[in-house]
Amino acid sequence: MDNYRQRKQRGYIENNELLAYKEKSIEELTALFSSDNAVERTVAARLLPLNCDTTNILLHALVNEPALYTRLAITEKLESGDSKTAQQMIPFLAVIGKNQHRTPIAPSKKKSFPLPRDLIARSLGRMNPAIFPTLLESVTELPLEKLSELIDAIGYMAFYHQNLATAENYQALLQMKDTYRQEPLIQWKLLICFSAFPQSEELLLMEEQFTAEAQRSLNLLAAKKD
């Protein structure tokens, strides 16, 4: 099977293929998520307008969507949303896929902030930085498995939007570190997150449990200064 046919089976579409569906109603587009044809499911994701109801539809479709390009289309649509969209996405942290961290691992060898493994965390981290307060406000409301993924989104967004790496936001993360001091996974995730916050250098230098991860964050902070 040639590459193009394989891509079509995985939901790939060209922009001109959307034209035949432009006049379909929201109800008709929503119905396409039940299609056996991945291309039609991608069409639905690309053309649905984003509001509270359609965000819910997109999220539930994403949970079980197997086709790569359809998943990409859904996440790209969600990433175009605002704080209300983010609020709907947060409960889906740690729900989609099984690639999330369960325990701390060796530090990444990449010279950038690690791309979140959790699909929703990845999308939250790529959204408009105006949603950052929504992410921070959710910290106190989540069970550990979701909080772990949310920290990745917070760190990813702050790393690539340095205006978010404020003393106030850092203090909020420090409070979280103290609250969950008995949770190794949360402590480890926060050390990764702190690579976005220059205020964390002294704390990272004092780290005793995850020294390799702390050193990696220090290296990233140093690289940003150069």
The DSSP letter of residue 103 is: S
| In a shared domain, residues 39 and 125 | no
Supply the pLDDT for residue 63: 96
Q: Give which of 11, 96, 100, 88 is closest to 62, Cα–Cα.
A: 96
Supply the pLDDT for residue 30: 96
Measured distance CA(50)–CA(78) in Å, rounded = 8
pLDDT tens readout for residues 28-73: 999 999 999 999 999 999 999 999 999 999 999 999 999 999 999 9
Task: Decide: helix, strand or coil at residue 10.
Answer: coil
Yes or no: say if 13 and 67 are a contact pair by the CB < 8 Å rule: no
Specify the DSSP element, H or E, that contains 164.
none
How much is the pTM?
Answer: 0.95
Supply the pLDDT for residue 1: 52
Supply the pLDDT for residue 226: 74
Q: Residue written as tokens 């690289």? A: 223
| In a shared domain, residues 130 and 218 | yes
Residue 106 lies in a domain: no
Q: Residue written as tokens 């493994």? A: 117
Residue 220 lies in a domain: yes
% of the chain residues with pLDDT over 70? 100
pLDDT tens readout for residues 108-142: 988 899 999 999 999 999 999 999 999 999 998 89
Residue 97 lies in a domain: no
Q: Ramachandran region of residue 94, left (φ > 0), alpha (ψ -120 to 50) or beta?
A: left
| In a shared domain, residues 138 and 57 | no
Specify the DSSP element, H or E, that contains 117.
none
Q: Give which of 115, 154, 158 is closest to 134, Cα–Cα.
A: 154
Yes or no: say if 218 and 201 are a contact pair by the CB < 8 Å rule: yes
| In a shared domain, residues 41 and 130 | no
Which residues, at least 6 apart from 214, have a Cβ–Cβ distance to it below 8 Å? 191, 204, 205, 207
| In a shared domain, residues 124 and 26 | no
Please state the domain count of the chain. Answer: 2
| In a shared domain, residues 133 and 194 | yes
Yes or no: say if 45 and 61 are a contact pair by the CB < 8 Å rule: yes
Residue 11 lies in a domain: yes
Residue 24 lies in a domain: yes
| Higher-pLDDT residue of 6, 2 | 6
Name the domain boundary from 54, 80, 106. 80
Which residues, at least 6 apart from 13, have a Cβ–Cβ distance to it below 8 Å? 39, 42, 43, 46, 69
The DSSP letter of residue 207 is: -
**Domain range holding 169?**
119-225
Name the domain boundary from 28, 59, 80. 80
pLDDT tens readout for residues 175-189: 999 999 999 999 999
Would you place residue 4 in the very low, low, confident or very high pLDDT band (cuts 50, 70, 90)?
confident
| In a shared domain, residues 138 and 206 | yes
| In a shared domain, residues 36 and 130 | no
| In a shared domain, residues 64 and 146 | no
Name the domain boundary from 30, 60, 80. 80
| In a shared domain, residues 156 and 214 | yes
Residue 98 lies in a domain: no
| In a shared domain, residues 125 and 221 | yes
Residue 17 lies in a domain: yes
Instruction: Give mean pLDDT, residues 199-215.
Output: 96
Query: Which residue type does 149 have?
Result: E
| In a shared domain, residues 123 and 217 | yes
Residue 90 lies in a domain: no
Residue 143: CB atoms within 10 Å: 9
